[in-house]
Amino acid sequence: MRKNTPKERPGTWLQKLQEKWQLKSIWQVVLVLVVFACTGMTVLYIKKPIFDLLGVDMSTGGFYKTVLYLLLVLPLYQLFLLIYGFIFGQFRFFWEKEKQFLNRITGRRGADKNREI
């Protein structure tokens, strides 16, 4: 049986996230996770009042309701990620993720990095 070298040694899930997201500390990973949690809870909290304002009954399903939900919630989720990221001191991390997200949606993968001025 082969022993793990220090680079191969499995870390905790927080350490794996720290490495994947290239964060400086476990504390920063925890703050990022708190931002995700706050964002998710906020979107769940405001979804019903927004749909009530628009007169959409969400008690039953339907294709158009799902599309409407995605069109409304996705931008709000992204906005709240930035707001909570700012509040918890992680704005830079979430701003970089937002730019990656927008580049994927628009099909500009890395176009800004390779463009010459």
**Domain definitions of the chain by residue range:** 42-101
Written as six digits, the tokens of 31 are: 């703050």
Percent of the chain past pLDDT 90, that is, above it, reads: 53
Burial class (CB in 10 A: 0-12, 13-18, 19+), 35: buried
Q: Provide the pLDDT confidence category of residue 14 given band limits of 50, 70 and 90.
A: very high
The answer to whether residues 72 and 66 touch, using CB atoms and an 8 Å cutoff, is: no
pLDDT for res 11: 84
Of 87, 72, 99, 71, the residue nearest 32 (C-alpha): 87
Average pLDDT of the residues in 106-111: 71
What predicted TM-score, i.e. pTM, was given to this entire model? 0.77
For residue 116, give the 3-state DSSP assignment: coil
* Identity of residue 89: G
Written as six digits, the tokens of 94 are: 């979430």
- Give 50 or 42, the one with higher predicted confidence: 42
